[in-house]
């Protein structure tokens, strides 16, 4: 039987708090909890793929060791998100005593997906079982968590990982997998992943299927992203009112490279923001960002991507110097 390769994001998930990249301040405090063998209810908030789930699992592993299975309950987005899960699963787990330790931990991943009712029910549950149970919640947007729950938790904010941290982890994984990753490729991974280490590792694994040597080109290919220069070129053409040529670039991105309209729009936004004052005045930039926002909304609402992007390029032409 051929062995199915497990996704690298799981293969290289941190085993201990020491393995978690970045977030030094947070890790330090989590380690202190392990040492004291006590912790408050916590809310981990921050963008995807930055180590929230990994930190919670590593924390539980360090606290409970081989008893982790009995003292740690993890519920994630694939589970039900309604009030029943709070009434049944969570309560059942919370009310029984912890095994060989003072308290259990319930980890509720992607809490922003809990319905309002469920959050209200959770708020009472959290209070009722403080003797036997601690809650660790994770979410992408803390604003989606009701105030009473936020006030019951110590909030830890996870930031996007720095390019250095991403590069370090990419290097470490590359070494273990026998890859050679050049500097351009690392830069490209950082451009595409924007501080999301999960995305970075997934791109690397995708790229590795083409061979052991990883280059910038392969990264942009597997992530179906354009090189920043390509998008920039399209913008410059539009700003020079060379509409047909700009449109040809758009064709290349969408039909030859297979980018989605949304991806093109996002890169268009990023590259517009990155233009220098002598290329596009600040005033024009502000107006264009507003316009990009409008087209983004139209596309989300279901308008034809191709037509919208062409219309957007036409808007750029109005700012010809």
Ligand X SMILES: Nc1ncnc2c1ncn2[C@@H]1O[C@H](COP(=O)(O)OP(=O)(O)OP(=O)(O)O)[C@@H](O)[C@H]1O
Contact footprint for ligand X (CB under 6 A)? 9-10, 12-14, 20-22, 48-54, 109-110, 138, 140, 161, 169, 197-198, 201
> Minimum Å distance from CB 205 to ligand X?
11
Does 55 bind Mg ion (CB under 5 A)? Our answer is no
Partner from Mg ion, ligand X, none binding residue 223, C-beta < 5-8 Å depending on class: none
Helix (H) or strand (E) holding 105: strand 104-108
CB of 52 to Mg ion, least distance (A): 5
To Mg ion, the closest distance from the beta carbon of 168 in angstroms equals: 21
Q: Which of 27, 41, 53, 125 binds Mg ion (CB under 5 A)?
A: 53
Nearer to ligand X, 58 or 313 (CB): 58
Q: Is the distance from CB of 145 to CB of 43 less than 8 angstroms? A: yes
Q: In the bound complex, which residue of the shown chain has the CB atom lying closest to Mg ion?
A: 53
Whole-angstrom Cα distance, residue 212 to residue 226? 22
163-176 vs 183-193: helix axis angle to the nearest 10?
120
- Is there a contact between 218 and 184 (Cβ–Cβ < 8 Å)? no
Task: Report if residue 205 touches Mg ion, rule: CB under 5 A.
Answer: no
201 binds, among Mg ion, ligand X, none (CB under 5 to 8 A by kind): ligand X
Least separation in angstroms between CB 175 and ligand X: 15
The three-class DSSP label of residue 163 is: helix
Q: What is the C-alpha separation between 213 and 230, in angstroms, rounded?
A: 23
Smallest distance from the beta carbon of 92 to ligand X, in angstroms?
24
Binding mask 101-140 for Mg ion (x = CB under 5 A): --------x-------------------------------
Residue pair 101/64 in contact (Cβ under 8 Å)? The answer is: yes
Q: Please state at what angle helix 183-193 crosses helix 197-208, rounded to 10 degrees.
A: 130
Closest to ligand X by CB, 110 vs 296, is: 110
C-beta neighbour count of 283 within 10 angstroms:
9
Please tell me the distance from the alpha carbon of residue 181 to that of residue 14, in angstroms, as a whole number: 22
Q: Starting from the edge strand earliest in sequence, which strands make up the sheet with 72-75, in order?
A: 72-75, 104-108, 133-139, 42-45, 154-157
**Which positions from 69 to 108 touch Mg ion by CB under 5 A, shown as an x/- string?**
----------------------------------------
Q: Quick one: what does residue 20 bind among ligand X, Mg ion, none, with the CB cut-off 5 to 8 Å set by partner type?
A: ligand X
């Amino acid at each position: 039987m051929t062995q199915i390769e497990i996704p690298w994001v799981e293969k290289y998930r941190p085993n201990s708090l020491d393995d978690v990249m970045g977030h030094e301040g947070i890790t330090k405090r989590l380690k202190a909890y392990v040492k004291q063998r006590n912790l408050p209810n916590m809310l981990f908030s921050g963008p995807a793929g930055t180590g929230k789930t990994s930190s919670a699992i590593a924390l539980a592993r360090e606290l409970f060791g081989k008893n982790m299975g009995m003292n740690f309950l993890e519920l994630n987005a694939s589970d039900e998100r309604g009030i029943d899960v709070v009434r049944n699963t969570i309560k059942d787990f919370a009310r029984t005593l912890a095994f060989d330790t003072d308290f259990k931990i319930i980890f509720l991943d992607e809490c922003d997906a809990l319905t309002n009712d469920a959050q209200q029910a959770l708020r009472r549950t959290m209070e009722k079982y403080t003797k036997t149970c601690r809650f660790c919640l994770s979410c992408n947007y803390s604003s989606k968590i009701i105030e009473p729950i936020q006030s019951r938790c110590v909030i830890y904010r996870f930031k996007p990982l720095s390019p250095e941290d991403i590069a370090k982890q990419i290097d470490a994984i590359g070494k273990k997998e026998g890859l050679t990753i050049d500097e351009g490729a690392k830069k490209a991974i950082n451009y595409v992943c924007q501080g999301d280490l999960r995305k970075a590792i997934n791109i690397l694994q995708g790229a590795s299927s083409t061979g052991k040597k990883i280059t910038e080109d392969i990264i942009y290919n597997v992530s179906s992203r354009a090189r920043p220069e390509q998008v920039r070129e399209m913008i410059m053409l539009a700003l020079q009112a060379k509409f047909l040529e700009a449109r040809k670039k758009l064709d290349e991105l969408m039909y030859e490279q297979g980018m989605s309209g949304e991806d093109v729009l996002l890169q268009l936004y990023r590259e517009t923001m990155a233009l220098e004052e002598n290329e596009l005045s600040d005033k024009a930039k502000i107006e264009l960002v507003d316009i990009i926002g409008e087209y983004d909304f139209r596309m989300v609402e279901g308008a034809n991507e191709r037509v919208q992007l062409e219309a957007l390029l036409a808007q750029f032409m109005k700012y010809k110097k």
